[in-house]
Amino acid sequence: MTQFFDCGDPHQRDTAIAAAAAAVKSGRLVVMPTDTVYGLGADAFDSGAVTGLLAAKGRGRDMPVGVLVGSWHTIEGLVYTVPHSARELIRAFWPGALSLVVQQAPSLQWDLGDARGTVMLRMPLHPVAIELLREVGPMAVSSANISGRPAATTAEEAQHQLGDLVDVYLDAGPSGAQAASTIVDLTGPEPRILREGPISTQAVADVLGTDVASLSA
């Protein structure tokens, strides 16, 4: 049975996190607040759960799922190497609305879709999300909506779209940025912006000491 929790109520908060953690550890789906839009999440290392996430969204393997982490240090075990550019961007913008595409560690036993050896990582700036991530570890998370429809900025919007495909909804009010994160690809010879979101291309360029044109090439 689907559960809906108000994380703004201190009497529900601990129960909500515990229920969401139990669902994730059992291979089920949860909707969680982030600093951008609401996310649909699953255990990143449970391929069946990730397949269920893609199915719930009506999305194919050609659009692999990103991974949210609860601390900077978590990424060390998830990537082949952490480029200097990644460290600079992490120091500047994490936790926050910046996703980084990097080469994943070859030893990882996960299946996030047809990612071709890469993974998109982000540390969200939201206390409920961080609390859940620190309880369960890295989570495969995509925007909480049916593919092609607007991303949910409230838990109610997510529930309207996803219904009982999700076991636990964590409601923490309207999302902050109400826009998907900025994505920077660090797998090529030079950093490249794949999507501009709350963090501007200019802000990324300033941190990397490069020009905007080179990031958009």
For residues 150-173, average pLDDT: 97
pLDDT for residue 87: 95
- The full set of domains in the chain, from first to last, is 3-187 (3.90.870.10)
Reported confidence tier of residue 1, pLDDT bands at 50, 70, 90: confident
Write the CA distances from 6 to 14, 23, 27, 29, integer angstroms: 11, 17, 22, 17
pLDDT for residue 31: 98
Q: What's the pLDDT tens digit per position in 98-121?
A: 999 999 998 888 989 888 899 999
Reported confidence tier of residue 217, pLDDT bands at 50, 70, 90: low
Q: What's the pLDDT tens digit per position in 77-98?
A: 899 889 999 999 999 999 999 9
Three-state SS for 46? Answer: coil
By percentage, how much of the chain surpasses pLDDT 70? 100
Write the CA distances from 168 to 11, 23, 53, 188, 200, integer angstroms: 17, 7, 13, 38, 33
Residue with tokens 């660090």: 186
The mean of the pLDDT values for the chain is 94
Q: Which of 12-16, 31-35, 178-182 has the lowest mean pLDDT?
A: 178-182
pTM (2 d.p.): 0.95
Residue 176 predicted with pLDDT over 90: no
User: Interhelix angle for 84-93 vs 201-208, to 10°?
Assistant: 120
pLDDT for residue 96: 96
More confident residue, 109 or 156: 156
Q: Cβ contacts of residue 213 below 8 Å, gap of 6+? A: none
